[in-house]
Amino acid sequence: MIQEAFKEEALSRTQVYEWFRRFREGRMSLEDDPRSGRPSTSHTDENVDLIRQTINQDRRMTIDMLSENTGISWSACQRILTDDLKMRRIIANSFPDCSQMSKNKLVFLCVRI
């Protein structure tokens, strides 16, 4: 009945049983356990700021050039540009993602020219 009322927002029966088992075993937190493995060292706030400053100085920089100049791996540079800074490639320059209103203004200006 709960899943009918709340649809996808309701917990599944399996999840409820899993949490019940964990509480019965004495666990009082729903947070995940710490995972093993090396933490990410390239995707930090300092590196995001460094990439932001570097790309603002020269928006024509490629990811290869950013990686070489900053010492951050290519994949980390690409992830920072697309996920954190919300930038994408347009022609030869990187620009922040535009809202629909901004896109409409750009189209209007281009048509006027």
Surface-to-core class of residue 78, CB atoms within 10 Å of its CB (0-12 exposed, 13-18 middle, 19+ buried): middle
Position 51 scores a pLDDT of 94
| Residue 34 forms part of a structural domain | no
- High-pLDDT (> 90) share of the chain, %: 29
Domain total of the chain: 1
| Residue 12 forms part of a structural domain | no
12 pLDDT more than 70: yes
| Residue 89 forms part of a structural domain | yes
Q: Which residue has the higher pLDDT, 58 or 9?
A: 58
Position 48 scores a pLDDT of 93
Position 96 scores a pLDDT of 62
| Residue 19 forms part of a structural domain | no
In this structure, are residues 4 and 35 in contact, taking their beta carbons and an 8 Å threshold?
Answer: no
Task: Tell me what percent of the chain is helix, strand and coil, each rounded to the nearest 5.
Answer: 60, 5, 35
| Residue 23 forms part of a structural domain | no
Per-residue pLDDT, averaged over 22-48, amounts to 82
111 pLDDT more than 90: no
Surface-to-core class of residue 35, CB atoms within 10 Å of its CB (0-12 exposed, 13-18 middle, 19+ buried): exposed
Residue-range definition of the domain harbouring residue 52: 45-108
